[in-house]
Structure 1
Amino acid sequence: MVLERLQQVASHLAGHTNPSNPFDPLSTEEIAAAVAIVRQSHPDVFFNTVTLWEPRKEEMMRYVASPETVPRPHRVADVVAIGRGSKVFDGTVDLIEGKIVTWDLTEGVQPLITMEDLQIVETVVRKDAKVIEQCGIVGIPPQDMHKVYCDPWTIGYDERFGSGVRLQQALMYYRPHIDDSQYTYPLDFCPIYNSDTQEIVHIDIPKVRRPLNTAPPTNYHAEAIKAAGGFRTDLKPINISQPEGVSFTVAGRTVKWQNWSCHVGFNYREGIVLSNVTFNDKGTVRPIFWRISLAEMVVPYGNPERPHHRKHAFDLGEYGGGYMTNSLSLGCDCKGAIHYLDAAFVSRNGDPQTIKNAICIHEEDAGILFKHTDFRDNSTTVTRARKLLISQIFTAANYEYCLTGILNTYALNPGESAAPWGTEVYPGVNAHNHQHLFCLRVDPNIDGPNNTISIVDAVAAEAPVVSEENFYGNAFYAKKTKVETMKEGMSDYDGASSRTWEMANEGKINAYSKKPVGYKLVSREVPKLLPKEGSLVWKRAG
């Protein structure tokens, strides 16, 4: 009877909130229904993730092609739950049938750290006797522990602990005042926190101790700026207005703008997901991309000393670009006429929660698109460019990915050099060298799924000077190397040849260029992963 009732509730909720698109994120009602179904069979787990299990590509393509005749894909929840002893369970829940489809214990892995996980660490750190002792050593008395803060990072991997325990490393800081920048006062030790037992299990202490920084605090809050002399007066306001309204429309989560159309999804890990991107070419709707998202990123730090070798954050896989998303507001976050979309997630205890205004959709002037002046009569043709922004901002400890941020810092003794692994950016503050490497997941669908990938390099002609083919020696061209296997596709950016990656449909020829229709991936001035092959971060990210 209980199972039948859960099926009725799930069916009712799924029907009541019938999404306009099977790619729509789970609603708060659907999250609650998934949790209720799981709790019936697994009452003692905590929830790490309840998100949409996206319909498989082949099934969804059939539905998109003929939604009137092809059955709508079922609403299925993808569930990650945590049991006692850091046990990790992966499951799927069919919300239409109201039942668990799969439920597996996954060994040797750890799910991402949620915002709730992060917040608990700071409370535990402030009360731990050994942490209080270390704070005293660097110059912080016990009565000032409320001024001690930490940015919890996943530990990634440490050979002393293995990968079977859910651990975090607490990067320690101090704030003289609650609004002061803690990154001015990094502490030199690093507690290790067990998320399962909620206790400090170890503290990494450097061989050379570095006492609390004595430099003046930095504070960028509005009141502090006023007290320090006030805001700038040499800038006049820029007002953005669209008196006739915006040029885009939003129906459910489908956005249309200048003949473009796409579905805007959202999940706990990737954040924004664009699906079924199409272009209406004079009445013919042409598919362009099936799915685009930011799948992962890694931020390796370049200081080889322990514990800094562990500092290589996978900000999406370890924390979640969706979970860390800001609630945006009109003003500095977004300017002009804005359309917002919310995001729904699950709490550790299984309660649905909403981030209001998680996605901002707006238009911007983008400068000059095209201009030409005819020198003969001085006539000019000029066109302004416009872009549509579908954006989010997420905060990963010291970084705001919008993209901006604050440097992750470490303590520095008076007279100590930060070189060569960092830069002294303020008295007693060492900002370590680091990279940000982004991994985009792009599924091209250019005029259909039969697409070809090529590596394109700008190169000089092979023929020598004074040859018949290249007599004057000035010939050069774009050399294309077709990618036949995934291994061949593993290629680095090459600035010497201005390397790009072309996605094309060889079965569809452009009427003017007589070349296959396609798009290019363009990267600029980005070094590859700088840590050496065989290093810890290379093994995890290389």
Structure 2
Amino acid sequence: MHPLDPLTAGELAEGRAVLAAAGLLTETTRFPQVLPVEPDKASVAAQVTDRRIQYTLLDTATGRARDAVVSVTKGELLSCEDCGEGQPPYLFEEYDLAASITKASPEWRAAMERRGLTGHIEHAFCAPLAPGFFGRPDETGRVIRSLTFLRDHAADSPWAHPVEGLIVHIDLTGRRVLRVEDEGGVPVPPEHGRYGDVPPRTTLKPIEITQPDGPSFTIDGSEVTWEGWRLRVGFNAREGLTLHQLTFGDRSVLYRASVPEMVVPYGDTAPGRFWISYFDAGEYLLGKNGNNLRLGCDCLGVIHYFPAFVADDHGHPVEIPRAICLHEEDYGILWKHTDLDGHAEVRRSRRLVISSISTIGNYDYGFFWYLYLDGTIELEAKATGIVFAGAGHSGTKQRHANEIAPGLFAPVHQHLFCARLDMAVDGERNSLFEIDVEGVPTGEENPYGNAFTWRETPLRTEREAQRFADPSKARVWEVRSADRVNRLGTPTAYQLVPRPSATLMAQPDSTVHKRATFATRHLWATPYAADERFPAGDRPNAHPGGAGLPAWAAADRDLTGTDLVLWHVFGPTHIPRPEDWPVMPVDYSGFSLRPYGFRDRNPALDLPSGAAAPCHDDPCHNDSCHDDQGPTHG
């Protein structure tokens, strides 16, 4: 087994057995987070395999949380210590616990009765929602909030029927309601939000993707080889999909890539929403909520699936049989030219797709990594699912929320992802530069006013590397090798090309700003440190803030010729629209890493002209563009 392989069911079971033998497990012990402990880079290079697992142990009776590290290779408990500030992620069983506590509350029942909703109590959905952090005296320890939504039956979609202004604050450890807020007076929106029973259209003709000779990739355990690319595919309960040891043409590009955190802050001041700022990795676990993907729906083509194993609330292994999808896609023209004599050469692009999808409550997030034939790497995050909404009086205007259905108002919010890119451009010694395009003032150096150029700014320290994207300057960030040059004598490099979007909109004195400081910049850079994995810190749940990137970068460490880690923030700022209801079309965001002088010339010159399909001069070859009216040459 390779040191970077994902955890297996046997390893999870063995690790739990070690904890039991050490006397660390009781009837009230739960496992909110179980993660692989990735070995240091020297151990990986030497193929030293000591497989370790970090178990977060929560005593649900007392609220005490500890982190225990087990070597499953040696069958030993290596350490066990109390967790620091903040709470571990939520357990699945706590979702049901929050609902049962809410429904047993006389205050909640009285609020439902006052609204005339007692007939809806049986099927009411009491959503378990992370509370943020506000320093309230009664909100210490393991706290959650619950908002109420109505359903017509147990399988109904609840999000269309919010009970506005009813907020239940819950102490999970004490299993009690702290208080109930009832700002009632707004009717529950009447229109249902069901979307799966709409009659399908019949006008779309089938599209079939076939590879009669099989795919071009090869799989050896977790290692994937494809058209000059080599990498390892990983998965863990917190981040979900991870990529490791990416090389192109047998030269290193990235040591590790993942999306270790995202925050979803809401811009509404209403009592039921001002506190919402979900950390979907650190509070809920992206990987543990990973989907079991379906052929022809989530993935299309000739597919290879990777399973993944995560631990349930009791520490037992659970398999996600199809957690990761791997396939190839045609991607249009890669390059083309028509010579003066009319001779044309064209090559089609193809990309390798590595994807996973996680569902966190009402939202679904797809993470799609693309590898291209020219050495480009791209990440596309796909946000879909159901927008989170409250109720209001139909036809009124709200400053922070749009009416998307009669009486249903969806607040403005953001989905801010943070990618962690452990760069290794031709080795571990890299340096970082910011590249801006800028105009030259008319004058002696620009006599005709047409000139523009580019400016390179070295980002030498962590403070200098806290940057914003700037599309007006076509800004990119370039990671250069400190040890290798190309045939033109310039350092080999890769550029991070952002798709600029808003950073965190919350004010600097807000609690979400303190907790999600990582989202206030598009770019951070740090020297590699094995324990610097999560940009909002190890435990953002109920954390007052300041952990993670702002704490690490305060040291202002040197970034020149070092083992460099980039942290890139991206994602949509969402002003919901009627077209987003009752289920929203995918909202795309992401970035790319493209080679810049990494190769001496176009690495895709050797593609055959029929890489995807033979080219034909007849645009209607095989009658592909004929219909009943005769040939069409549009």
Q: Secondary structure at the match of 1:256?
A: strand
CA-to-partner distance for each residue in 1:109-161, whole Å, 9 max, x for gaps?
A: 201113333243334433433222222233322x4322211331211213224
- How many angstroms does 1:460 deviate by? 1.6
Q: Distance in 2 between matches of 1:119 and 1:242?
A: 46
Shift of the 129–355 alpha-carbon distance from structure 1 to 2, 3 Å rule, reads farther
Aligned-pair RMSD on alpha carbons? 1.8
CA-to-partner distance for each residue in 1:389-420, whole Å, 9 max, x for gaps?
A: 11100011111102212111011124432x21
Match of 1:43 in 2: 25
Q: Distance in 1 between matches of 2:202 and 2:102?
A: 43
Shift of the 324–377 alpha-carbon distance from structure 1 to 2, 3 Å rule, reads same
Q: Distance in 2 between matches of 1:53 and 1:204?
A: 42
The answer to whether structure 1 residue 392 and structure 2 residue 372 are counterparts is no
The answer to whether structure 1 residue 300 and structure 2 residue 276 are counterparts is no
Q: Could you tell me whether the CA contact under 8 Å between 2:267 and 2:400 is conserved in 1?
A: yes
Q: Distance in 2 between matches of 1:381 and 1:122?
A: 63
Per the normalisation by structure 1, the TM-score is 0.88
Q: Distance in 2 between matches of 1:74 and 1:103?
A: 18
Alignment of 1:265-276 (within 5 A): 265-276=234-245
Q: Secondary structure at the match of 2:274?
A: helix
Match of 1:133 in 2: 110
Match of 1:261 in 2: 230
Alignment of 1:458-537 (within 5 A): 458-461=437-440, 464-467=441-444, 469-512=445-488, 514-537=489-512
The answer to whether structure 1 residue 23 and structure 2 residue 4 are counterparts is yes
Q: Distance in 2 between matches of 1:370 and 1:195?
A: 58
Alignment of 1:350-361 (within 5 A): 350-361=315-326
Q: Distance in 2 between matches of 1:259 and 1:114?
A: 42
The answer to whether structure 1 residue 87 and structure 2 residue 64 are counterparts is yes
The answer to whether structure 1 residue 287 and structure 2 residue 243 are counterparts is no
Q: Could you tell me whether the CA contact under 8 Å between 1:31 and 1:51 is conserved in 2?
A: no
Matched letter for residue 356 of structure 1? P
Q: Secondary structure at the match of 2:281?
A: helix
Q: Distance in 2 between matches of 1:136 and 1:522?
A: 55
Alignment of 1:100-139 (within 5 A): 100-139=77-116
Matched letter for residue 216 of structure 2? S
Match of 2:606 in 1: none
The answer to whether structure 1 residue 412 and structure 2 residue 392 are counterparts is yes
Q: Could you tell me whether the CA contact under 8 Å between 1:138 and 1:212 is conserved in 2?
A: no
Aligned residue pairs: how many? 496
Shift of the 95–452 alpha-carbon distance from structure 1 to 2, 3 Å rule, reads same
Q: Distance in 2 between matches of 1:497 and 1:349?
A: 52
The one of 377, 380, 383 equivalent to 2:347 is 383
The one of 290, 302, 326 equivalent to 1:325 is 290
Match of 1:10 in 2: none
Q: Could you tell me whether the CA contact under 8 Å between 1:287 and 1:448 is conserved in 2?
A: yes
Q: Distance in 1 between matches of 2:15 and 2:8?
A: 11
Q: Could you tell me whether the CA contact under 8 Å between 1:128 and 1:200 is conserved in 2?
A: yes
Shift of the 247–163 alpha-carbon distance from structure 1 to 2, 3 Å rule, reads farther
Q: Distance in 2 between matches of 1:504 and 1:116?
A: 48
The one of 177, 180, 201 equivalent to 1:203 is 180
Shift of the 290–437 alpha-carbon distance from structure 1 to 2, 3 Å rule, reads same
Q: Could you tell me whether the CA contact under 8 Å between 1:346 and 1:352 is conserved in 2?
A: yes
Q: Distance in 1 between matches of 2:97 and 2:321?
A: 23
The answer to whether structure 1 residue 232 and structure 2 residue 201 are counterparts is yes
Match of 1:252 in 2: 221
Match of 1:6 in 2: none
Which has the higher relative contact order, 1 or 2, with Cα contacts under 8 A spaced 6 or more apart?
A: 2
Q: Distance in 2 between matches of 1:399 and 1:452?
A: 37
Matched letter for residue 498 of structure 1? A
Match of 2:310 in 1: 345
Q: Secondary structure at the match of 1:442?
A: strand
Alignment of 1:179-190 (within 5 A): 179-188=155-164, 189-190=166-167
Q: Secondary structure at the match of 2:460?
A: coil
Match of 2:151 in 1: 175
Q: Distance in 2 between matches of 1:382 and 1:259?
A: 20
Per the normalisation by structure 2, the TM-score is 0.75
Shift of the 504–162 alpha-carbon distance from structure 1 to 2, 3 Å rule, reads farther
CA-to-partner distance for each residue in 1:430-485, whole Å, 9 max, x for gaps?
A: 10001111101001111100111112211123xx4231x32223222222211111
- How many angstroms does 1:272 deviate by? 0.9
Match of 2:38 in 1: 54
Q: Could you tell me whether the CA contact under 8 Å between 1:115 and 1:324 is conserved in 2?
A: no
Q: Distance in 2 between matches of 1:139 and 1:384?
A: 63
Q: Distance in 2 between matches of 1:516 and 1:150?
A: 57
The one of 421, 434, 439 equivalent to 1:442 is 421
CA-to-partner distance for each residue in 1:21-42, whole Å, 9 max, x for gaps?
A: 1111221111111111112331
- How many angstroms does 1:422 deviate by? 1.0
Shift of the 164–101 alpha-carbon distance from structure 1 to 2, 3 Å rule, reads farther
Match of 1:428 in 2: 407
The one of 510, 513, 531 equivalent to 1:538 is 513
Q: Could you tell me whether the CA contact under 8 Å between 2:132 and 2:512 is conserved in 1?
A: no
Matched letter for residue 368 of structure 1? I
Q: Distance in 2 between matches of 1:509 and 1:367?
A: 32
Q: Could you tell me whether the CA contact under 8 Å between 1:423 and 1:431 is conserved in 2?
A: yes
The answer to whether structure 1 residue 213 and structure 2 residue 194 are counterparts is no
Q: Secondary structure at the match of 2:218?
A: strand
Matched letter for residue 47 of structure 1? F
- How many angstroms does 1:197 deviate by? 3.0
Matched letter for residue 480 of structure 1? E
Q: Could you tell me whether the CA contact under 8 Å between 1:137 and 1:211 is conserved in 2?
A: no
Q: Distance in 1 between matches of 2:24 and 2:156?
A: 44
Q: Distance in 2 between matches of 1:342 and 1:161?
A: 44
Q: Secondary structure at the match of 1:74?
A: coil
- How many angstroms does 1:73 deviate by? 2.9
- How many angstroms does 1:523 deviate by? 1.5
Q: Could you tell me whether the CA contact under 8 Å between 1:108 and 1:163 is conserved in 2?
A: no
Kindly, what percent of the aligned residue pairs are identical?
Answer: 33
Q: Could you tell me whether the CA contact under 8 Å between 1:451 and 1:504 is conserved in 2?
A: yes
- How many angstroms does 1:179 deviate by? 4.6
Q: Distance in 1 between matches of 2:295 and 2:450?
A: 53
Q: Secondary structure at the match of 1:388?
A: strand
Q: Distance in 1 between matches of 2:319 and 2:137?
A: 35
Q: Secondary structure at the match of 1:116?
A: helix
